[in-house]
Structure formats: C-alpha cells, structure tokens
Amino acid sequence: MGRPISISLSPNTQWDDVRLAVTLLFQPWLWKKGDAIARAERWFTAHFSGYQAVSFNSGRSALLAILRAFGIGKGDEVIVQAFTCVAVPNSVLWCGATPVYTDIDQSLTIDPAGLEKRITPRTKAIIVQHTFGILARIERIKAIARKHGLYVIEDCAHILDVSDSEAGAGSYGDAAFFSFGRDKAVSSVFGGMAIIRNRHGEACNKLSNYWQSLDYPPLHWIGQQLFHPVAFWFILPLYTIGIGKLLLLFLQTIQFLSFPVYKEEKRGGRPKYFPARYPNALALLLMLQLSKIRVLNNRRKRATSTYTRMLAIKKDSTAISISQGGTLLRYPISVSSAKQLLTHARAQGILLGNWYHHIIDPDGVDFQSVFYRKGSCPKAEYAASHIINLPTNIAKENIERIVSAL
C-alpha cells in the first residue's frame, strides 16, 4: 500500500531517522545524559551569533524559561496573537502572568495596527509568532515595543531559517524559542531551544540557573518519543483506510506514544512533564534532522513558489499575504468550505492540515481558562473557520496532485 501525502504525521521522518530511533531504543544509557545536548546548543549559538542557547524538552518549556529569565510573573501581562496553539498562552499562565490577545492581519501574524491598543502599564513583553513560517511584520512590532519598553520574544515554532546571506526568524528580537515537535521544521518528536541575546546578561544567567534547577524527563517519556518515528513508519500507510488512526489511538491509550497536547493543557494546566531538560536521545534525533535542514528548507521554498504560481488561477481560494518572506512549514489558503475540502482531499489519500481551526488550538480548549474572549479578535476567528494548510516538504509531482484535488 502506498504512503498517503501527509502534513502532520511525522512529515520529516525518513528511513535514517527511523533507523536511529530503533538503535536508541536499545541503548537506554544514552537516553538522558550525553554530548548531543551540548552539540545541539552549539549549533544554535553558531547560527544565531550574539545569543545564548539553552535546550529544553519542548518549545513550551523553552518559552516558559525565557519568560522567567526576563522576570515576568504574577501581575504582568504578555501580548500574544490569537490564531495560535494553546501552548503559547499556557507558558504565560505557568509563569504567573496573564496572556492578552491581539488580532492578526492578512499574513496570519500580528497586525501592528491593532497591537498598541492592547498595551497597558502591566505589559512586559510581546510574543511575535511567525505563523507557518511567514515572517511577522517584525520591524514595525519592534518599533512599538521600543516605544513602550517591552521585550520582543520571537515564536519560531514553525520556522528554522539557516540562510548564509541574511538574518532569519529568531534574530530580530530580545529572545526566541524553537520547537522540535513531530511536525515542525526539524523534529525530535518533542524538544525546544531558548535563545536570549548576550546583552541581556542577567536574563542569560537566570536562563542557565533555571535549566540547572530542572531534571531530565522520566525514562518512559523519553521512550515514548523514541518509539514515535518507528510507529509512524507503519501507521502512515494505513491511515487513510482508518486502521492507522485506530492503531495510533490504541498506542496513545496504552501510553506507548504521547499526545502532542495533554488533556490538562486545554484548561491552562501544566502536565508533570514540563518543564524539563532536553534529553540526549532526542538531541541525537535532532542533530540528524539538522544535518538535513538546508535540503528540507530548499524543498519548502520550491513548493511555496510552485503553489503560489499554480493557485493564482484558482478562484475558490483566497491568497494569504506571504510576501514578507520566511520559509513556510505549511502553505495556508483560505477557502469557503474548509471541512468539505479536507474530507474531499482525504478520500484521495491527501491528508491536508487544519492549523488552526480554533482561535486557540486544538479542539476542546477552554477559552475562559486561557483568558480568550470570543469576538475580541474577529480576523483571527474568521481565519480559524476558513484556513487549510498544504504541505511544503513534498515532491513536485505530489504538489500537482494536491492542486488538482483542490
């Protein structure tokens, strides 16, 4: 049976990733401590000159560490965009602060025109999300932040640019965090990196001290992540006929695999696994992925150009503004009937993406618990009802198949 086109079921996983995961499953002495952790951190300090890098077991843990390093806590406010994952406002809640939501523009990133209205005397930072890898209007946001004395923290969960010619996402603000989740630019199933500019010396010291205060995740949790690439190598070919999805749910139920978002997170709660240090076994998976990042990003850029050209003639989709650059993890289009189109594509073996079909994703998030008030960000709410995502880590012939299905 052929493998379906998939956007979220471990899209980066290749046979060498599976082979490494299998090898590591039989070497538990390498799971927690090892030199791969330091090598991963050095990779980021080499690519983001002037920053200190510290690794954690998830992007949400990395964001929490940055907020704590900047002394953000009880009584403070942090601006985040609507049309995001619950992991972002949760990290704000976990440090004791309050998330304040601002609306998006046609680029699906923060609308600078409405940003200043959300700032109060209690605001301490703005988290700038580069949605799907689309660069936010960072210079305009930075100007507003400078005016009010706010930290700018870049959310690079969807992007990892390594261009030799220009600075990329993560190099504009006071700090940034990256995610190595199962469907991100590079993947170790879970993992994250926090970077802070060296000029923020006190914050850098606090970041290191916070890392020192943490432990590694438990062995069973690390084992779940190592088993993930192996399991999905067999799950994905069976997914469109239903067997794969049932197998995935079974493996998650018996705790052989972890959920990408835990149940308590949907109500602002913090699972016992976060925050924690980045384990060596996952760092080894990451280093293999990082060795392929230029190939992956070049493929994503080619796919983005091809989609833009081929979809220009489609009258039933609305273009998203991606002109300000970036390397797209997913190519978003706005359509009138998102659910029907996803179902239609699935019947043809094409599993398109539904980020974000909720203003605060995923399904089941309690808006009150994460301080979102419905109606406060109308453009984000409209996007959540109409956006679908096309894969960018994909061969050209599959792009043609997807556009034909659309």
Residue-wise pLDDT for 361-396, tens only, equals 999 999 999 999 999 999 999 999 999 999 999 988
Say what the pLDDT of residue 304 is: 93
Q: What is the mean pLDDT of residues 47-53?
A: 95
Model confidence at 318: pLDDT above 70: no
- Say which range, 70-74, 233-237, 249-253, has the weakest mean pLDDT: 233-237
Mean pLDDT of 150-165: 90
For strands 330-335 and 387-391, give the pairing. antiparallel
Amino acid 1: pLDDT: 43
Q: Is the pLDDT score of 347 beyond 90? A: no
Provide the pLDDT confidence category of residue 99 given band limits of 50, 70 and 90.
very high
**CA–CA separation, 237 vs 326, rounded Å?**
31
Peptide bond into 378 cis (omega under 30): no
For a pLDDT cut of 90, what percent of the chain falls above it?
Answer: 82
pLDDT, tens digit, for every residue of 179-237? Answer: 999 999 999 999 999 999 999 999 999 999 999 999 999 999 999 999 999 999 988 88
Q: Is the pLDDT of residue 253 over 60?
A: yes
> Domains in the chain, ordered, with CATH?
28-212 (3.40.640.10), 293-405 (3.90.1150.10)
pTM value?
Answer: 0.96
Q: Would you give the DSSP letter of residue 380?
A: H
Please determine, for residue 314, whether its predicted confidence score (pLDDT) is greater than 80: no
Average predicted confidence (pLDDT) for the chain: 93
The HSE-up count of residue 213 (CA atoms within 13 Å, CB side) is 11
DSSP letter for each residue of 85-134:
ETHHHHHHHHTT-EEEEE-B-TTSSB-HHHHGGG--TTEEEEEEE-GGGP
| Residues ≥6 apart with Cβ < 8 Å to 353 | 7, 8, 330, 388, 389, 390, 391
pLDDT given for residue 167 in this prediction: 66
Q: What does the pLDDT read at residue 66?
A: 98
Which distant-in-sequence residues (6+ apart) come within 8 Å of 404 by Cβ?
A: none
Quote the pLDDT of residue 70.
Answer: 98
20-34, 182-196, 341-355: the lowest-pLDDT one: 341-355
Q: Tokens 């299905």, residue? A: 405
Q: What is the pLDDT of residue 6?
A: 85
- Torsion, Cα 169 174 180 184, to 10 degrees, reads -30
Cβ proximity of 52 and 44 under 8 Å: no
Q: How far is CA 314 from CA 333, 335, 352, 374, 406, in A?
A: 11, 11, 18, 32, 9
Instruction: Answer whether the bond into residue 356 is a cis peptide, omega within 30°.
Output: yes
Burial (0-12, 13-18, 19+ Cβ within 10 Å), 90: buried
For the chain, the first-to-last Cα distance in angstroms comes to 23
